[in-house]
Structure 1
Amino acid sequence: MKILIILPNWLGDAVMATPAIELLASYYPNAKFTFIGSYASIEAIKNHPLCEKAIVDETKKASSRVLATFKLARELGEFNLAISFRNHFYSSLLLRFTKTVICIAKKSWHSMFLLSHTPKISSNQHLAKQYAKLAMTDVESWDNTTPELKLYIEQEIFKKPTLGINAGATYGSAKRWYPERFAEVASEFSNKFDIIIFGGPNEVEMANEIEQNLKASQVRNYLNLAGKTTIKELCANIAGCSLFITNDSGPMHVAAAYQVPTVSIFGPTKHKETSQWMNKKSKIVRHELDCAPCMKRECPLGHHDCMKGITASEVIEAVKKLGT
């Protein structure tokens, strides 16, 4: 059973698609997956034991994306089943060009025109559930359950209990709590945990600010890995943490995949749709405001109250309630 899957672009969304992938693996026991997606999503998902091929989609770099999409589809060939977790015209076009008979994508003007199965799926539910419903469109016997997140990257083993700090959020500044407050929380627990500061290449400055604040608090048992890890190393290191404190971000979902006790700080995003899926030890810190969730990359009102109002003491209290 050859199955083509177009992954979501964002790391966190790709991780939230893993329950759907596991459902496909369970309902089609002879499944062999071909994954297509962004570099981040491919690096996170390509270790799946049923993965035959993993391809980074670079068609947008071509002078003619339509032609590049056609050529990629012809290289891939036909599948028994093809699913796109991206609601994008070129994703629908790629599925169509493979000449696969059963092609599934969320209902949109382009998917309805190009593909065989285009279910209307409500966005008013967790994204992991949305992806699961999409994957199970053609499976009548599905019992409507959605399993836990699942990654196949081996976790790092640390010598001491380790607290991971993730102050970044690739989507935009509105999702980011403040470095000095992350540092205050980390300092509070530095006698119990070694500390790792995480961050992507564009989040090094923020991570360095956390580091400077830790130094000022006489904290020395930390490691700043911002901008220094591959996606695989990022996932492995997060998986090895005993506690994780983070914004709503891709690394937050990685932590959930490994059931790492986590406190997540939410501001402008919809916690009911993108909170940690089925992490047994997780807490959300957020404030109920009239202007939130706005889903904007930057605060449209200029005050950022959804994040500014959250204090370090609130996050510290949430950590204590986890009982780690």
Structure 2
Amino acid sequence: KRWPHYHYASLAQTLIERGHHVVLFGSAKDNEAGEAIRDTLPESLRAFCTNLAGKTSLDQAVVLIAACHAVVSNDSGLMHVAAALNRPLVALYGPSSPDFTPPLSHQANVIRLITGYHRVRKGDGEQGYHQSLIDIQPERVLEALTPYLQKQDYR
């Protein structure tokens, strides 16, 4: 039920090129996906993308997310943390439904291309991604994210 790593990498590349630093969060099981995101970036941009998946405690992740200018996340526990912290949030939903588990924040923009409830959460698309998440293009996420971002140069 995760947005494809190559979409995250495309978004990360655009954000880094615009002067932002990208930080990846998740559990230890997400570390490999984080490395895949970093590895997809041009080598010159990798220094501006930090993979903290599996390297922080929940308490540390909460503090770090609180410092983020904006968050992009699939439906996950950390998405709900970002919403609870009232961080500007673009929440990506595939087979899980925001009707059941919405981000409880006025600063959340939900993107979901399908309707209804889907029991099967793991996709049969490329690398196990659900087609409904593959279909959410990075350009659409960037469009939703851009109003939340402050124009700062982190380099």
Which residue in the other structure is 1:111 paired with?
none
TM-aligned CA deviation for residue 298 of structure 1? 1.8
Q: TM-score, normalised by structure 1?
A: 0.42
Which residue in the other structure is 2:101 paired with?
274
Tell me: CA distance 1:295–1:234, structure 2 relative to 1, closer, same or farther (3 Å): farther
TM-aligned CA deviation for residue 182 of structure 1? 0.5
Unaligned runs of 5+ in 2: 151-155
Of 95, 98, 111, the match for 1:285 = 111
Equivalenced residue count is 145
SS at match of 2:146: helix
Whole-Å separation in 2 of the counterparts to 1:320 and 1:223: 20
Which residue in the other structure is 2:92 paired with?
265
Residues 152-167 of structure 1 aligned to structure 2 (within 5 Å): none
Contact preservation (8 Å) 1:214, 1:220: no
Is 1:206 aligned to residue 33 of structure 2? yes
Which residue in the other structure is 1:312 paired with?
138
The AA in structure 2 aligned to 1:288 is: I
SS at match of 1:269: coil
Unaligned runs of 5+ in 1: 1-174
The AA in structure 1 aligned to 2:72 is: I
Q: TM-score, normalised by structure 2?
A: 0.84
Which residue in the other structure is 2:12 paired with?
186
% of aligned pairs identical? 29
SS at match of 2:118: coil
The AA in structure 2 aligned to 1:256 is: A
TM-aligned CA deviation for residue 215 of structure 1? 3.6
Whole-Å separation in 2 of the counterparts to 1:192 and 1:280: 26
Whole-Å separation in 1 of the counterparts to 2:70 and 2:100: 23
Residues 1-324 of structure 1 aligned to structure 2 (within 5 Å): 175-190=1-16, 191-216=18-43, 218-277=45-104, 279-289=105-115, 292-299=116-123, 302-303=124-125, 304-322=130-148, 324=150
Tell me: CA distance 1:219–1:294, structure 2 relative to 1, closer, same or farther (3 Å): same
TM-aligned CA deviation for residue 235 of structure 1? 1.0
TM-aligned CA deviation for residue 319 of structure 1? 0.9
Larger Rg: 1
The AA in structure 2 aligned to 1:226 is: A
Whole-Å separation in 2 of the counterparts to 1:180 and 1:221: 17
